[in-house]
Structure 1
Amino acid sequence: MSKLTPLGSLPYPQPTDVADVPLHLQSLAEAIDGRTVLRFTDIANLQARVTNPVAGMVAWLGTPGRLFHYAGNHWAPVAPGPVHKVNNNEGSTTSTTFVETLTSATGDPMAVSFTAPPSGSVIVTVGAYTYNSAADGLAYMSAAVRLGTTVKLAAHEDRSSIVRSAARVSASTQFQVSGLTGGALHTVTPAYRAGGGAGNTASFDNRFVRIDPVT
């Protein structure tokens, strides 16, 4: 009867085993198979073929071209990195409540997708060249975080870059989001509003959003 190596639990034959070289090689190959770097086209192909993953498995996905590991309950990037998006198109709003689409802008809503890390926590940064049509007018830029269509964290003044100026000002803000579903695809969408007086127009140019995983 084959014995197992002490660390990797790989089978090897004993002198008393049946002299069946192909069978012994097959047993060894099958034991090693799940310990190598697996290769798949994308996450759907991986999940279809590896139906019973074991924590510690590593796989290369052609899309998005990164190494993933099985964290015990989901596949996650081996080294999760930041996600960044820029929109150089200027837009404006007179809304006094947060909106995700600016007037005269293209590319809105400016939603950015990311996979939540195992910690379920990320740092969100948003910013833009910002100004208001009135010298004492306000311009707010925040962001909403969603899992599918469910809002996990709404845009809010407490999580906003705030500018009071009729001149263009480069402003940004950063906040941490926790309690996300590790391994699930989420989105961050910038949101904007005007303030400081009726009819004021808040404008935003060279907008960006960045999501950094907290490991």
Structure 2
Amino acid sequence: MVALTPLGSLPYPQPADNADIPVHLQSLAEAVDGRTVLRFADAAARDAKVTDPIPGMVAWLNNPGRYYHFTAAKQWAPLVPGPTHWSSTLTGTTSSTSYVETLTGATEPLAVSFLAPPSGIALITVGARINNSAAGLSYFSASVKQGTRVVSAAADTRAAIVGGTNQVSASSQFPVTGLTAGAVHTVTGAFRTTTASTGFSNRFLTITPMN
């Protein structure tokens, strides 16, 4: 009767078992197969092959070039999620008193996508060089979405704020909770001002997953 190792429950033959080396090797190989670092082209290839993952499994995906592990919450999550960064040297302006995601003169949205860690928490950092046209306040915040679901909306309490007419580099950090572990989320910069016009340059967003 085949016995099992005490820690990994790997099968091995007993003296009384049939001397069928191919069968014994196959049993051992199948037991070890799901415990190795699996390798796939992408998530679709992984999910097509591993239809019933077990918590603790580890897989490498060529795209996006990262290790993932299957969690107790039954989700694939980055093994060691790292910070994600986006920046732009373009200068844009706004005169909007409510938050907008696109600036005049810098039409690209300041947006970053990332995978939420198992904790469901990420630290968001926003920053820019801000120049007001007149005395007043200008704000650079960010929204966080999972698809169309708004996890955290842009708000003054989560913004880099500059007042007066001096050109100032400012930044702000704030945690976001309630993220869906292993799911793709998007952070988008948002801007508003109380003056006639405010310029934003050297803008950046950094997302640091919290374990």
4+ residue segments displaced more than 3 Å: none
Q: Matches of 2:149 and 2:68 in 1, distance apart? A: 26
2:57 is equivalent to residue 51 of structure 1: no
Verify the 8 A CA contact 1:126 1:143 in the aligned structure 2: yes
Deviation, 1:165, is 2.6
Structure 2 residue aligned with 1:26: 26
Deviation, 1:168, is 1.5
Structure 2 residue aligned with 1:148: 147
Q: How does 1:107-186 map to 2 (within 5 A)?
A: 107-108=108-109, 110-134=110-134, 136-186=135-185
Verify the 8 A CA contact 1:4 1:12 in the aligned structure 2: yes
Deviation, 1:189, is 0.3
Q: What is the identity, as a one-letter code, of the residue corresponding to 1:173?
A: S
Q: Matches of 1:24 and 1:89 in 2, distance apart? A: 64
Deviation, 1:137, is 2.1
Percent identity of equivalent pairs: 58
Could you tell me the TM-score, scaled by structure 1's length?
0.95
The unaligned stretches of length 5 or more in structure 1 are none
Moved more, 40-49 or 112-121: 40-49
Q: Matches of 2:111 and 2:86 in 1, distance apart? A: 9
Choose the corresponding residue for 1:204, options 200, 203, 206: 200
Q: What is the identity, as a one-letter code, of the residue corresponding to 1:204?
A: F
Q: What is the identity, as a one-letter code, of the residue corresponding to 1:208?
A: F
2:47 is equivalent to residue 62 of structure 1: no
Matched length? 210
The unaligned stretches of length 5 or more in structure 2 are none
Structure 1 residue aligned with 2:107: 106
Could you tell me the TM-score, scaled by structure 2's length?
0.97
Q: What is the identity, as a one-letter code, of the residue corresponding to 2:203?
A: R
